[in-house]
Amino acid sequence: MSVGLSSASMSPVAGSLDRTKGSCSAGAARRGRRASRVKYALIIILFLAPSAIPLVYFTVYPMFSALWVSFHKWNLLSDMTWVGVGNYIDLIHDPLTQRAFLNSVLYIVGYFPLVYVGGLGLAIALNSAVPFRNFLRGVYFLPVVTSWIVVALVWRWLLNPSGGVANYLLSLVGVQGPGWWTDPHWALPSIILASAWKDLGFVMVILLAGLQSIPQDLYEAARVDGAGWWARLRHITFPMLTPSTFFVTVISLINGFQVFDQVYAMTGGGPAGASTVVVERVYDLTFRYSQAGTASALSWMLFLLVLLVTVVQMIGQRKWVNYA
């Protein structure tokens, strides 16, 4: 490469040093700085382009098209008509949409503790010297890379109200199993169960990496001081694991609000809307009910909510995440 990557102008620190020199040839220096800055920007653009172009074309551009559509009434077939914020107002008053938001929140409330505690347990177990450790890690990660449609069909079968494995096992201990996905009270828990099972491996891998980056001498020192298993977990593992925990929390919440595949494949939002979630409602509004404008407005409401929740988490993390 002929571009002078080695030049000190690459670093802003060097740039500020330059400025302090205050030499008489300030004009020439400024011109030189500008030229190298342009070069620098071009290089950055070159490296970013392979990911930035698809991102802009397939994500950013559709997002803002959707924002435009969200201010219109549009059935996908004829021309759009401007309705201003009418779609947003309709959605706020729509009981099914309220239900969808509530269900999305309930999903997260049920799903996150399950997947975190389960993932942490697995990570701790598979971080110790158990036999076939690597094999087991692979096995637990397998559901993560399996298609949701396959997983949903398997869980539909496991939780089949009549003749399903889950209810058969429950009957062995004298419990009459519920109707699972045919019962409005159990439809969402069924989905939560399947989701937690599928994502367990992902949480495990993140937390496992976090566990392995904890220096062993901390544990040794604690042992010397007479700390037991629980004290070590409480005072070393948890605090040292907070960056991984934070990452898992942010990702799980974002994914939780975007949950769709499993709902669509397991219950289709039923029975009678008992397990409908926001993204599923977006899909229905667009492709089943010909209300693309309303659906776009709902997408943007969801986006803003996820953004808000994530920003709050980002600010809140200063109080509890330990990057020591």
**Footprint of other proteins on this chain (CB under 8 A)?**
54, 57-59, 75-78, 144-145, 160-162, 179, 182, 184, 198-199, 202, 251, 255, 258-259, 270-273, 287-290, 292
Nearest approach in angstroms of CB 145 to other proteins is: 7
301 contact partners, CB below 8 Å, separation of at least 6: 88, 91
Of the two residues 237 and 286, which places its CB atom closer to other proteins in the complex? 286
Of the two residues 24 and 77, which places its CB atom closer to other proteins in the complex? 77
Nearest approach in angstroms of CB 198 to other proteins is: 8
Nearest approach in angstroms of CB 159 to other proteins is: 11
Of the two residues 30 and 185, which places its CB atom closer to other proteins in the complex? 185
Of the two residues 242 and 255, which places its CB atom closer to other proteins in the complex? 255
Nearest approach in angstroms of CB 26 to other proteins is: 47
Provide the token pair at 44: 């950055």
Nearest approach in angstroms of CB 289 to other proteins is: 5
The amino acid at 286: T
107-111 contact pairs (CB < 8 A, 24+)? 107/188, 107/191, 107/192, 107/195, 107/256, 107/259, 107/277, 108/252, 108/253, 108/256, 108/257, 110/188, 110/189, 110/192, 111/192, 111/195, 111/196, 111/252, 111/256
Of the two residues 274 and 321, which places its CB atom closer to other proteins in the complex? 274
Contact 184, 141 (CB under 8 A): no
Contact 82, 71 (CB under 8 A): yes
Provide the token pair at 191: 């989905």
